[in-house]
Amino acid sequence: MTNFSWKVNKTSSVSRARTGVINTPHGEINTPAFIFCGTKAALKSCSAEEAIRNNTQIILSNTYHLMLQPGSEIISNHGGLHKFMNWHGPMLTDSGGFQIFSLGYGSVADEIKGRNQMMIRNKSLLNISEEGALFKSYIDGSKHLLTPEKSIAIQRDIGADLILVFDECTPFHVEKSYTAESMRRSHRWSTRSLNSFELARKFKSTEGSAGSQSIYGIIQGGIFYDLRDESIDFNLHSKNFFGLAIGGSLGCSKEEMHQVVEYIASKLKDKHPVHLLGIGDPSDIWSLVRWGVDTFDCVSPTRLARHGAALKKTRLGKINIKNSKYREDLNPIDSKCQCKTCAKYSLSYLHHLLKSDELLGLQLITNHNIYFMNDLMLYIRKAINEDKLLEAEKDWYQD
């Protein structure tokens, strides 16, 4: 694991909250940290330069999407995704396994919000077998078999610093028997992923197109604590994992999600940085950090912006700038926010841009939301270092 390290700097006296540093060949990540989703090698409505100006530490891209467009070979020919998209900081790629879930059932966030009841199974997912997952491309309908070995090969072509093993993320509403079957198959896929990763490192002079890489294991088991225990044991005994990610179904409500994550995190020690896959609502992060989660990823900050919603330090958490009450509002989104959008533009102007379908409106709100999330994580890190996390959470909210 050349050029990689993980260190815990400060732990709360009243919870498992901690600050730390993940060192990678492309820079360090101060944790707790939020990872922004550049799924197709781009942050929606935001350039890499803007992301840096808004204090972004690390971004994530998606193996499945990039294998279809533009193809991992093209990215490798550029010298890796860092050069391809002009991002020079740390990067993470998921394994493509999440698409087994999302193409078949919808996203984890949709499930927690209760939307899975309304969804019809997507036929893009054709079959899951011991060999891997058979997909139909959403671009041209062509068939692709994604295996643990292929996922690792693609992630090495892409060249992110941190990569994930190949897994299946089971939905909430399947039986426990299938969750157990899927989890154990994911463990076998994980072993194959790790073997493929180690073999490639042994026989190639470079590790991935952009340099050396480290790999995360994924803890599965759905909402069943005994299965989570089994998956935790499997991952902790796999000694070559740099980090551990919490994956799979987390329940059908936020309350259940909190209980499942708290249980899992309580079983993990300081040896690995802990990542929570696909969850990152600001209102949840406070609790999740207290239980020992170090990094988060979620599409919500940029997705909300594309729907005209700006993040705010309120219990509701956001405002809809398309609302007519902002038509003549001369105030910024937040007068105390230090982002360029709040420094230079009024809600009235942003409202006008959205109503006029001007793309600049999406860009400006996206910049604010990215700055907001990074500012939140900086505030949380400071509070943990001062051992005042509970007080900081109360002070964060303005209403």
Per residue in 276-331, pLDDT tens? Answer: 999 989 999 999 999 999 999 999 999 999 999 999 999 899 999 999 999 999 99
The number of angstroms, rounded, from the C-alpha of 104 to the middle of its chain's C-alpha atoms is: 19
Q: Among 233, 214, 229, 221, which residue's Cα sits nearest to residue 163? A: 214
Q: What is the reported pLDDT for 285? A: 96
Three-state secondary-structure class, residue 324 = helix
**What is the CB-side half-sphere exposure of residue 217 using CA atoms within 13 A?**
26
Residue 322 burial class via C-beta count within 10 angstroms: exposed 0-12, middle 13-18, buried 19 and up: middle
Please say whether the beta carbons of 6 and 272 come within 8 A: yes
Q: What is the reported pLDDT for 157? A: 95
Three-class SS string for 123-136?
CCEEEECCCCEEEE
Q: What is the reported pLDDT for 57? A: 98
Q: What is the reported pLDDT for 1? A: 47
Please say whether the beta carbons of 1 and 214 come within 8 A: yes
Q: What is the reported pLDDT for 201? A: 77
Three-state secondary-structure class, residue 360 = helix
Domain with CATH 3.20.20.105 in the chain: 5-298
The model's pTM? 0.93
Residue count of the chain, please give it: 399
Q: What is the reported pLDDT for 238? A: 85
Three-state secondary-structure class, residue 144 = strand
Q: Look-up: residue for tokens 């259940």?
A: 256
Q: Quick one: residue 134, left, alpha or beta (phi over 0 = left, psi -120 to 50 = alpha)?
A: beta
Q: Between vectors from CA 100 to CA 292 and to CA 114, what angle results, nearest 5°?
A: 65
Q: What is the reported pLDDT for 366? A: 98
Q: What is the DSSP letter of 386?
A: T
Q: What is the reported pLDDT for 13? A: 96
**Regarding the domain delimited by 5-298, which CATH topology (the fold level of the hierarchy) does it fall under?**
TIM Barrel (3.20.20)
| Residue 66, H or E segment | helix 63-68
Q: What is the reported pLDDT for 173? A: 80
Q: What is the maximum alpha-carbon separation in the chain?
A: 64
Catalytic residues: 94, 297
Residue 47 burial class via C-beta count within 10 angstroms: exposed 0-12, middle 13-18, buried 19 and up: middle
The number of angstroms, rounded, from the C-alpha of 323 to the middle of its chain's C-alpha atoms is: 29
Please say whether the beta carbons of 225 and 199 come within 8 A: no
Alpha-carbon distance of 233 to 341, in angstroms, equals 47
Residues of the chain with pLDDT under 70: 1-2, 100-101, 103-123, 204-208, 210, 399
Q: What is the reported pLDDT for 385? A: 98
